[in-house]
Structure 1
Amino acid sequence: MGLMEDVMPPPIVKLKRELGGERTEVDLSQGVPFFSPPKEALEALFKEDLHALSRYTPDEGLPSLREAVAEKLRSENGIHAAEGEVMITPGANYAFFIALSATVRRGGRVALLAPYYFNHLMAVQILGGVPHIVPWGGGRLNLEGVEEALDKGAEAVVLVNPSNPTGLTFTRQEVKALLELTEQRGAYLLSDETYEHFTFSGRKHTSPAALSGGNGVVSIFSMSKSFGMGGWRVGYLHYPQGIEGDLLKAQDTVGICSPNPSQRLAEILLREHSPHYPRS
């Protein structure tokens, strides 16, 4: 028995094993894009120096990609981001894991809004945190439940907006109210914005860091969904001052860097192929 003894197993893997490969007509288990990066972007990547693409990148990511991400955060998300406040990671799950490791102490309480993303619970468990499940708010952000979690000493609140698994996009007013709560209590807000471009019913996605100047907010993004890069493993995060050193410790120990070719493709897509995904 090891450290994973009390960690829940990944439910999608478990269910697929139980089904034994049985085909289902509609599979809602995982957000797998039905599209790939544009052919032109892939062709541009393959024209690059393949030897150079085989090297490690800096732990934080390629400087040119970090600048492209910072530009995107400023122009699309309204976050006042500089290159030095951005880290490239091997996916958004990884970004969340190292963000959690850099912001919450072992034994610290972490608020997860039900229904929560299961990998977030697993990360809390692996890192020795104490999950505090905030009950479902019935189509709204349960601010009363978050306040209760903070009253009980939660060191971080996890917001997934738009929500995984419900798809609900919280309003700007709700996000602002949540941010005010975490700022008042000195807690971190870990904002998973993987599905930022998948909004419905006329609602617009709001990045908490755009409302706060970034203090106390760690913003997590993915190239997997909007750009069809799931297998390439590129995510990124924007972080406040004071935690870069701890993020680097985790990054260097576990993953070192996102794959070099993947980072170059991400840069090509960000600079040359927005808007993002086909809507039909």
Structure 2
Amino acid sequence: MSEFVLSRSVEALQPSGIRRFFNLAAGMEGVISLGVGEPDFVTPWHVREACIQSLEKGFTAYTANAGLPALRKEITKYLNNRFSVSYNPETEVVVTVGASQAIDIAFRAILNPGDEVIVIEPSFVSYAPVVELAGGVAVRVQALGENEFKVTPEQLEEAITERTKAILLCTPNNPTGTMLNKQELEAIAVLVKKHHLIVVADEIYAELSYDEEYHSFANIEGMYEHTVLISGFSKGFAMTGWRLGFVAAPAYFIEPMLKIHQYTLMCAPTMSQYAALEALQTGNRDVIEMKKSYHKRRNFIVSSLNSIGMECHLPGGAFYAFPSIKSTGMTSEQFAERLLMEQKVAVVPGGVFGESGEGYIRCSYATSMNQLIEAMKRIEAFVHQHCK
């Protein structure tokens, strides 16, 4: 069927650089994976039980397009209690199939062809493609390692043009773990207000902040009306496979997003919504315990990497370390592939996350401490063998 002309925008997309290394590792025995951005915790039993009970009760029909009313109400309570941001559960929240779908419908709702979106790199690999699939232009701004991968207001100001519509902001960041504090968010807010921009705030890692209080961008003074808040249950609640997220925003953003959601997916899975309802109502202790474990692992892996000679800043959140591999003289892809083949440790090359990620690797510490200890031994042996 080669005579058919397929979508040029899709043909231009590059496959995910993360998946290639997962596929390589999948066929090898004895591999320790520091590559997967997924909690190693099983979803707590009481959350799984709530899903089972919903099935036993026969709750298998569609929900409202925007999600179960009870869940939307609980989401708004959670956002208000946890981050001091207030939304109307009837008109300002949509339950989505993961945070990824929320990001997708957000950009499809706000972008016209040619509108520019500032994507701060290193960034999650799907951000720029999602912007481009929505007809926008991804303008990449490089946050630099010497500034702990924090973008500066000057960098953003320089990138803003008359076509700039939005900024995609992820804090804590994937892949660097960098978290912006309140003062840094306020500096971005000044630009947002000055240029009348929209901020699509991916706050999926908000529960995993370690050293400072987390501040939602929507809570920054004057930013509620500019912000599309994206979050979900995958990371902080250990519910990746449930594929459940949400978007909260003023009604003028939510209305067009709900239209797209209605026509493409109808609603998020019913049983996942009942599980999420349970997670919000009774799962706070689970989140705290998982966070404590990640905090301990973060301190261990960052200390170990620095002692090996792989310079690594202390990430403020998420569950990623982003150490430099420049001392080896390899590219990040060469380092990751050789580390996998020679020492059976899987990491993700930093270059797949953007130009400023080159010379670094992403190591997820969402794995057991025993696995981390062994992985650090193998990485140390590899680095000492290849360091210039």
For the pair 1:7 / 2:13, whether they are aligned, the reply is yes
1:48 aligned counterpart, secondary structure: helix
8 Å Cα contact 1:169-1:204 kept in structure 2: no
Counterpart of 1:257 (choices 261, 267, 275) is 267
Counterpart of 2:45 (choices 39, 51, 57) is 39
For the pair 1:185 / 2:195, whether they are aligned, the reply is yes
8 Å Cα contact 1:219-1:238 kept in structure 2: yes
RMSD between aligned alpha carbons? 1.8
Residue 100 of structure 1 corresponds to: 107
For the pair 1:122 / 2:124, whether they are aligned, the reply is no
**What is the CA–CA distance in structure 1 between the aligned matches of 2:70 and 2:230, rounded to whole Å?**
19
Residue 246 of structure 1 corresponds to: 256
8 Å Cα contact 1:69-1:270 kept in structure 2: yes
For the pair 1:235 / 2:235, whether they are aligned, the reply is no
Structure 1 residue 18, shift from structure 2 partner:
4.5
- My pick for the range that moved more, 7-16 or 154-163, is 7-16
Identity fraction in percent: 27
Counterpart of 1:87 (choices 94, 107, 118) is 94
Structure 1 residue 219, shift from structure 2 partner:
0.6
Counterpart of 1:28 (choices 26, 34, 50) is 34
TM-score in terms of structure 2 length? 0.68
8 Å Cα contact 2:117-2:136 kept in structure 1: yes
**What is the CA–CA distance in structure 1 between the aligned matches of 2:34 and 2:284, rounded to whole Å?**
27
TM-score in terms of structure 1 length? 0.93
Cα 1:134/1:13, change in 2 over 3 Å: same
**What is the CA–CA distance in structure 2 between the aligned matches of 1:35 and 1:20, rounded to whole Å?**
20
**AA aligned opposite 2:110:** T
**What is the CA–CA distance in structure 2 between the aligned matches of 1:239 and 1:12, rounded to whole Å?**
30
Residue 209 of structure 1 corresponds to: 218
Structure 1 residue 213, shift from structure 2 partner:
5.5
1:215 aligned counterpart, secondary structure: helix
**What is the CA–CA distance in structure 2 between the aligned matches of 1:235 and 1:17, rounded to whole Å?**
26
**What is the CA–CA distance in structure 1 between the aligned matches of 2:281 and 2:229, rounded to whole Å?**
20
Structure 1 residue 29, shift from structure 2 partner:
2.6
- My pick for the range that moved more, 55-64 or 244-253, is 244-253
**AA aligned opposite 1:181:** L
Cα 1:20/1:30, change in 2 over 3 Å: closer
Question: How many residue pairs align between the two structures?
Answer: 279
**AA aligned opposite 1:27:** S
8 Å Cα contact 2:228-2:253 kept in structure 1: no
Cα 1:195/1:46, change in 2 over 3 Å: same
Larger radius of gyration: 2
Structure 1 residue 248, shift from structure 2 partner:
1.4
Residue 64 of structure 1 corresponds to: 70
**AA aligned opposite 1:191:** A
Counterpart of 2:172 (choices 162, 172, 180) is 162
Q: Which runs of 5+ in 1 are unaligned?
A: none
